[in-house]
Amino acid sequence: MFRPGEKATIHTAVKRADLADLEQMLASGANINEIDNMSFSPLHWAANVGAIEILQFLLWNKADPTIVSDRGWTPVHIAAIRGYEACIQSLADRGVSLSAQDHHGFTPGHLAAVHGNSSCLLALLRLGADVETANQHGWTMLHCAAFHGRLGCVQVLLRWGFRIEDVDKQGNTAAHLAAMEGHLPVLQCLVSQARTPIYLLDTPNDNGDTPETLARRFLKEDVLTYVEKVKAERRDHSHNADMFALLAFPAHTAAYKGDLEHLQALVDGGVIKIDERDEQGSTPLHKAAGQGQIKIIHWLCENGADPSIRNQLGERPADVARRYGQLAALDLLKSHHLSEKEEESWLEQSALSDIPFSYVEGEPEPGLLYDKEAAIGRARRKVEKMKKLLDLAKSDYKQLGGEPSPEEVRVQEEFREVN
């Protein structure tokens, strides 16, 4: 990322989300598609740090979104790795390919699955990413999610219709990969969706290995215990949506029930990310807020949960707490939710960090010069000025966090009344 003393270039301006500096450089003749020593264009860097307004500004000024890095990554690949759903949406609005493959055959969907960015993965699927594409090993997105233990992504993919029985070039199903790596929650989720679990667990790959034999070879004792239990029961489990939901979103269930020990184990063990979203766009913090689980809320906030995330109804955790009359939870959430001015001050005072790729899904890069209100205002003026591109400009405005339209507010209110 940007470091003090680094030579000022178009890339450093993008990394800092310094729009004024960027505009000045472009006016002075800087190349909007310049490639740096990491083979990144300015658009790549905007996607990497999650600078949504900068990314949109570059796109409006004809930056090329098809440029690839040395690894074959487009800006969409980068946004999928880092977990920036809004960047993916803005790129998709311009018709950028969501199924482009890098030099190893990975699409943005594969990389979102690898890094556990389930909301980005769902966004890619909804926007039309190709579900049949496999990488050079023959892995689908489901194979990637299973191998890396990304439970939320596995759930998204199974809901989307990915086939449990699909095999890679060595005959491995997702169950083989999950068992081999010892990802028990993922294997349980896969088995819960198999009409004949015994068949799934006894299916050999091209080397004659079943999920059970792979678990035994790699000393995955908890997986072996589970497989033996399933076989001992000798049941063909029918499709069980309730069990599937329970296994797919264990952190949400733990937060809802106030099971702090289980929640800590899931987050600390890397099984889920602290802001993992379910099908309604809710995080564990939303679930805890609705039930007034004070200890859970405190622990989540202290460990980096974002209290500003909105679910599909447009509600933050504090809004959920207010709706269910959880006043103590509401007070606690308010104490953790900084005002916009306080947040801007915190960003300015924060030291630049060395956060690795995909540390937390959608986590903003510290040090960005980002004024949310000013950014929304610029987006609004853009909508008013460019009438012929009204739909596109409105999409930018929405991705920047602009308030919903009166029609959207009305639909949300009607949905709340029904539910």
Alpha carbons 61 and 16: distance in angstroms, whole number: 19
What b/e sequence results for 282-321 when a residue is b if at least 16 CB atoms lie within 10 Å of its CB, and e otherwise? Answer: bbbbbbbbbbbbbebbbbbbeeebbbebbbebbbbbbbbb
Residue 384 to residues 90, 125, 388: CA-CA distances in angstroms?
18, 31, 10
Residue 28 to residues 9, 22, 23, 35, 63: CA-CA distances in angstroms?
12, 10, 9, 17, 16
The predicted pLDDT at position 245 comes to 54
How does pLDDT run across 105-148, given as a tens digit for each residue? Answer: 999 999 999 999 999 999 999 999 999 999 999 999 999 999 99
Ramachandran region, residue 358 (left: φ > 0; alpha: ψ -120 to 50; beta: rest): left
Answer yes or no: are the C-beta atoms of 69 and 40 closer than 8 Å. Answer: yes
Does the structure show a pLDDT above 70 at 1? no
Q: What is the mean pLDDT of residues 258-275?
A: 89
Neighbours of 336 (CB within 10 A): 18
First-to-last alpha carbon distance for the chain, in angstroms, is: 45
Name the token pair of 198. 């015994």
User: How much is the CA Rg of the chain, to the nearest whole Å?
Assistant: 23
Does the structure show a pLDDT above 90 at 185? yes
Higher pLDDT, 324 or 204: 204
Does the structure show a pLDDT above 70 at 315? yes
Higher pLDDT, 355 or 367: 367
The predicted pLDDT at position 338 comes to 46
CB neighbour list of residue 145: distance below 8 Å, 6 or more residues apart: 113, 114, 116, 153, 154, 157, 174, 186
Residue 351 to residues 24, 104, 269, 337: CA-CA distances in angstroms?
25, 35, 27, 20
How does pLDDT run across 204-246, given as a tens digit for each residue? Answer: 999 999 999 999 999 999 999 999 999 887 654 444 555 555 5
Percentage of the residues of the chain whose pLDDT score is greater than 70: 83
- Which phi and psi angles does 156 have, rounded to 5°? -60, -45
Residue 296 to residues 98, 255, 263, 293: CA-CA distances in angstroms?
37, 6, 8, 5
Residue 318 to residues 283, 311, 327, 341: CA-CA distances in angstroms?
12, 11, 9, 19
The predicted pLDDT at position 417 comes to 67
The predicted pLDDT at position 195 comes to 84
Whole-prediction pTM: 0.72
The predicted pLDDT at position 238 comes to 46
Higher pLDDT, 379 or 316: 316
Neighbours of 394 (CB within 10 A): 17
Domains of the chain: 249-337 (1.25.40.20), 372-418 (no CATH)
Among 72-76, 230-234, 304-308, which is the least confidently predicted range? 230-234
The predicted pLDDT at position 279 comes to 75
- Which phi and psi angles does 258 have, rounded to 5°? 80, 25
